[in-house]
């Protein structure tokens, strides 16, 4: 992830794209073991970030629905 795509500034879609790319790297299994371990750690962090962002987006959507009903 570049500095422009750091988890703090990346959109949900960008985080998800980085996660998919990391999973593809893990699935290929062609990198040395130390790189695969690093990729696994990165994937775990990206997954946590994606889940947190998804929950935040869901909360915002729920609030909008409530506001529209008022």
- Model confidence over 2-48: pLDDT tens digits? 444 555 678 889 999 999 999 999 999 888 999 999 999 999 999 99
> Residue 6: its pLDDT value, please?
59
**pLDDT number for residue 9:** 78
Between 60 and 5, name the one with better pLDDT.
60
Rg (Cα) of the chain, in Å, rounded?
A: 16
Phi-psi region of 29 (alpha: psi -120 to 50; beta: other; left: phi over 0): left
Q: Residue for token digits 């500095």?
A: 3
- The pLDDT of residue 48 is 95
What is the pLDDT averaged over residues 58-64? 96
State the pLDDT at residue 50. 93
């Amino acid at each position: 992830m570049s500095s422009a795509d750091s988890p703090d500034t990346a959109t949900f879609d960008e985080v998800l794209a980085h996660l998919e790319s990391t999973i593809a790297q893990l699935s290929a299994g062609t990198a040395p073991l130390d790189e695969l371990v690093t990729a696994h750690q990165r994937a775990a962090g990206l997954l946590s970030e994606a889940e947190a962002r998804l929950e935040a987006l869901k909360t915002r959507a729920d609030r909008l629905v409530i506001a529209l009903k008022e």
